[in-house]
């Protein structure tokens, strides 16, 4: 599987990463999914301390123990579970980040985290303090690099200006083109990579198309608009390939994107996603057709 450099780091991530949130909590089943990813050549695994109260990190760490030096583990911090586990609070403080990293390392069964990401954030956060925490963790050898997971243009700009982030994780797809105007060009210009999530737009951009469509539509698309646009895209772009291929290749067509992180709840799903990423890239004409048929949506609420 092809690899791309993550920002200005020395990490080279596969074009497809495994989003581990969907692997479940049953160890045997989770291990099979992770092993299928390794078999397909995937080296980038994305988890978070929030997933399954930390159990996700634990399962991933166990499954990757024998391959630790060959893989890139990314996890996230900032969401703090309440004592009764009824929900979580947001805590981007230096004290919490430096405490949480030790717990993640323990659960993952590793001495270092390749990519440590802030799991959200707003413009009201103590950004300088948060950056200080990540920089110290780098100096101390607990993490190799850091990034943020955010779709807020104002927050992204702050980190571009003040920090040494190598990546930003954000939702991006043919139906969610919000990053194209404000985020992707800025990050590409500064040599910061984008890791995308949600490339299949809740399954709307898979071959199942409208099977799981909501009456509310998707983002600023009504159900009627989806019923019109999706079949026409599939007919034009995927007569002899899967629509999943088109969706993943659309993300990879943007020069700012290093890896597409897709979830999988079965080994078969991993294999299909891997096949999609290994397929032929979209032509410039195909990308232009997609942009012509879909909305160039922009960020409204998330600033």
Residue 131 CB neighbour total at 10 angstroms: 19
Helix (H) or strand (E) holding 181: helix 179-182
Residue 296 CB neighbour total at 10 angstroms: 9
Rounded to 5°, angle at Cα 113 from 108 and 115: 125
| Cβ-based burial of 295 (10 A; exposed 0-12, middle 13-18, buried ≥19) | middle
CA 88 to chain centre: 21
Lookup: tokens for 192: 């910061």
**Is 197 in a helix, a strand, or coil?**
strand
Q: Which residues, in sequence order, are CB contacts of 98 under 8 Å at separation 6+?
A: 133, 136, 137
Q: Which residues are catalytic?
A: 51
Q: Which residues, in sequence order, are CB contacts of 130 under 8 Å at separation 6+?
A: 92, 93, 94, 97, 118, 121
Burial per residue of 68-94, b for 16 or more beta-carbon CB atoms within 10 angstroms, e otherwise: eeebbbbbbbbbbeeeeeeeeeeebbb
């Amino acid at each position: 599987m092809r690899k791309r450099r993550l920002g200005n780091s020395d990490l080279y991530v596969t074009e497809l990463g495994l989003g581990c949130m969907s692997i479940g909590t049953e160890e045997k089943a989770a291990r099979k999914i992770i092993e299928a990813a390794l078999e397909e050549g995937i080296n980038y695994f994305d988890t978070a301390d929030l997933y399954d109260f930390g159990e996700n990190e634990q399962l991933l760490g166990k499954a990757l123990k024998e391959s630790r030096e060959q893989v890139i583990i990314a996890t996230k911090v900032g969401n703090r579970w309440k004592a009764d586990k009824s929900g979580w609070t947001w805590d981007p403080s230096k004290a919490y980040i430096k405490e949480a990293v030790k717990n993640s390392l323990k659960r993952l069964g590793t001495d270092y985290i390749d990519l440590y990401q802030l799991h959200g954030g707003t413009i009201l956060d103590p950004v300088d303090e948060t950056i200080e925490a990540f920089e110290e963790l780098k100096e101390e050898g607990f993490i190799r690099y850091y990034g943020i997971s955010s779709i807020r243009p104002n927050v992204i700009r702050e980190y571009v200006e003040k920090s040494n982030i190598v990546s930003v994780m954000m939702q991006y797809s043919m139906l969610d083109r919000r990053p194209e105007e404000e985020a992707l060009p800025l990050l590409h210009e500064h040599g910061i990579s984008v890791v995308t999530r949600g490339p299949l737009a809740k399954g709307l951009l898979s071959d199942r198309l409208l099977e799981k469509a909501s009456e509310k539509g998707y983002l600023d698309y009504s159900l009627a608009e989806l019923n019109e646009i999706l079949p026409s895209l599939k007919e034009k772009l995927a007569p002899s390939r899967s629509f999943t291929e088109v969706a993943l290749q659309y993300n990879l067509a943007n020069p700012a994107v290093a890896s597409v992180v897709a979830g999988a709840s079965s080994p078969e799903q991993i294999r299909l996603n891997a096949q999609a990423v290994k397929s032929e890239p979209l032509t410039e004409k195909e990308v232009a057709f997609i942009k012509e048929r879909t909305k160039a949506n922009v960020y409204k609420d998330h600033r």
